[in-house]
Structure 1
């Protein structure tokens, strides 16, 4: 989620004179996203999230290990060690790179079943909500969600859902079960076999319709975690922004941006009632090389250099805008960061992404 994704969402949902909830937070800054990778100058999500969680730049694919593959204590582990409750919410697999970096150490982001095992046996987050059921079950167990497109359960660590239940987690797999779950104890919710959406190009089977909206998962996580008198740490991610940007699918990307902003509104409302809460909104990198453009018949779209989407309506205006993609991969542009609460002023200015670790470590 880079600056163009945020501006396109602002125009779509709020118009020329409006602000997204994420942009209404009082402190703003910029983060660089460069990894320490032997091949690429552009980060992936694993290296980007690892910079947040251990404060060190590393190679692409690394989950909270440094360039020598040495594991480091993550902020999620630090929060737990300090007596706080912890949780993660995502529309990706709960074992995907960004959430994993907060609660696991792995030389390769691909080892998602071992990341799930580490959640249960090592870092023990109190709330785990998202997709990725396939990584929690062996191939012989199809789970609660039908597998399609050749997908099937792929875990090699046994039935980790059963293990979670033995470890005291309440397991839910539907919106109704999540609503009915008590607001105390540990909670595991898996609501898709892989991501909670179908990441394809427009009109080619693309679907963004999560079993549970991101804002609802965020609200439930807060209901559970806030019971800890020592405080809590919660990571929340809208993965569809990245995945649909990879497919240059602006319609679905904008839909996901709207859902992320609803989740930010949940966090902002919580912080308004609990002013000792730090809320930070940012992205681990930009994806798609996106630009916001005027509508033009003489644009270079179709030349192979770029690909234009739109036009899209601007809220409260008869005018429209277009979006132009320049790549299906990640880029190295700075990402915006906005924040509110204790120590949020530290995000003012331009910083490396490892600065997130510096601020959150002090907050914890």
Structure 2
């Protein structure tokens, strides 16, 4: 009976799925435990996409307008999703701005509104983009705002005041050194009185003009090995290597109420800039980190301009499709799409003719229409959706504070 006991027990254990010890030649007689679960998948690349000001209602309005009631946005088809809260650590407000929101992602610490990756006492904190660069990854940022605006800045710079954009540009060149920098904001890279590719005080917005105090940072970028481009043709022709592209004085749009000078016609679209950045960064054998931002959602929501918000959602949809296609072709790429906060207190509703409604807008593929109702021209404290695709995407299920983004990404990018 004893001779049968061990095989019988082993058989029962195997049927029950209990992991067993196994000896291998490399053990030299020492037992090594094997686990049933496979090793966690390696993440080589991280693409973090910020729909600035985008929460659930913005996504639903975009879905109805772009895909129809039976359709879905690319981000909605990602296999994992959750929610992020957005509260800052600001003594004056429970509602975050973009600076504090992005700093929470980039540092894992809540801070005050206006802060760029510094703590509540103004002490600089390690920023995730800069840390990824130090760890050997290629890094980049792409935005339809100024490249030195709050969200990209939080990943690659430190400042007690988000308005110090010329110093943020200086830090890009001297400290964090992202390989690819694409977006607007030429005014902050040139000294006052020296216009660049985009004339000072243009008719569309006479308040835009060069304001830098750190010298000619475009010339410095060239000296540091960056190709500098300012048009779509130049971007398309840019060769592999470090790349700086500035395509507007400030943001790449005019963020006004509908019919009052509102313009969304970027010199280069976000999807095109993102495609170029991916091509440049993906040559690094150690992988990369890329921050992508569609700023126009936030700015036009501030103006309660639903038509332009939907246009910006369309550009974000094209961009996320580019990113998802890249990730599908490059296993080991984690994509995360979310928003830093909600803007406008937006609700999607049936058109009723009530004063204050925005629209109506067509529901794609139907004869139906919907309205966009705004409750504020500012930010709100609503949670924001987060969607993820690729290895470790499952970590973004459930509800978490916005600092959780750092908790997930820091071990990947700094290890």
Preserved CA contact (<8 Å) 1:50 1:58: yes
Runs of 5+ in structure 2 lacking a partner? 1-53
Secondary structure, counterpart of 1:278 in structure 2: strand
Instruction: Say if 2:286 is the partner of 1:230.
Output: yes
Preserved CA contact (<8 Å) 2:348 2:371: yes
Instruction: Say if 2:317 is the partner of 1:261.
Output: yes
1:152 corresponds to: 209
Structural mapping, 1:21-170, within 5 Å: 21-147=74-200, 148=202, 149-170=206-227
C-alpha displacement of 1:363? 2.4
For 2:208 and 2:146, the matched residues in 1 are separated by 13
Which string of whole-angstrom CA distances, capped at 9 and with x for unpartnered residues, describes residues 262-319 of structure 1?
A: 110111000001120000000000000000011113x3x3xxxxx3101100001101
**TM-score of the two chains, using structure 1 as the length reference:** 0.97
Secondary structure, counterpart of 2:65 in structure 1: helix
Preserved CA contact (<8 Å) 1:343 1:363: no
C-alpha displacement of 1:362? 2.5
Secondary structure, counterpart of 2:394 in structure 1: helix
1:174 corresponds to: 231
Structural mapping, 1:204-283, within 5 Å: 204-283=260-339
For 1:295 and 1:156, the matched residues in 2 are separated by 50
C-alpha displacement of 1:150? 2.7
**TM-score of the two chains, using structure 2 as the length reference:** 0.85
Secondary structure, counterpart of 1:261 in structure 2: helix
Q: Which runs of 4+ in 1 moved over 4 A?
A: none
For 1:151 and 1:295, the matched residues in 2 are separated by 37
Give the total of aligned pairs: 356
C-alpha displacement of 1:343? 1.2
Secondary structure, counterpart of 2:172 in structure 1: helix
C-alpha displacement of 1:240? 0.3
- Name which of structure 1's ranges 325-334 and 67-76 shifts more when overlaid on structure 2: 67-76
Q: What root-mean-square deviation, in Å, do the aligned CA atoms of Structure 1 and Structure 2 show?
A: 0.7
Instruction: Say if 2:379 is the partner of 1:330.
Output: yes
